[in-house]
Amino acid sequence: MKICIICPVRKGVPKKVENYVAKLEARGDLVYYPPRDNPQEDTTGYYICFTMSEAIRKADEVHIWYSPDSQGVHFDLGIAFVLRKKIRLINNPPDGEGKSYIKVIKTKVVKKDTES
């Protein structure tokens, strides 16, 4: 299966995401992992966004480590949402009252693969 990971990159990737990717690849999945596979040398961010959108488009599923502080996670989530991709949630971030992105993810999520 082709899986695209959505996770924060700029401020660092949680070790649990690296472990999760290793687990998927060990079982034979083809994983697009942004810190490793999406070139980050880009002065405007356009190429990063374009390349990531292509990876999401080609994926069978999108697995997300949701971080409310990451602009990239929100951008990539929007792409996955518009493309109607199957989404699996890797982590289980807290949520409060009212509307939120995590509630959108949990509404759309196929399966929770939470490790935290």
CATH number for the domain including 59? 3.40.50.450
Show pLDDT as tens, one digit a residue, over the chain (116 residues): 999 999 999 888 889 999 999 999 999 999 999 999 998 888 999 999 999 999 999 999 999 999 988 999 999 999 999 999 999 999 988 888 888 888 888 887 655 555 43
Contact 45, 27 (CB under 8 A): no
Cβ-based neighbour number of residue 34 at 10 Å:
23
Long-range contacts of 36-39 (CB under 8 A, 24+ apart): 38/9
**Amino acid occupying residue 66:** Y
**Three-state DSSP state, 12:** coil
pLDDT score, position 116: 39
Q: Which helix (H) or strand (E) holds 112?
A: strand 109-112
**Three-state DSSP state, 86:** strand
Structural domain boundaries enclosing 43: 2-112
* Number of domains into which the chain is organized: 1
Contact 65, 14 (CB under 8 A): yes
Q: Is the dihedral of CA 54, 88, 85, 83 positive or negative?
A: negative
Phi and psi torsions of 89, nearest 5°? -95, 125
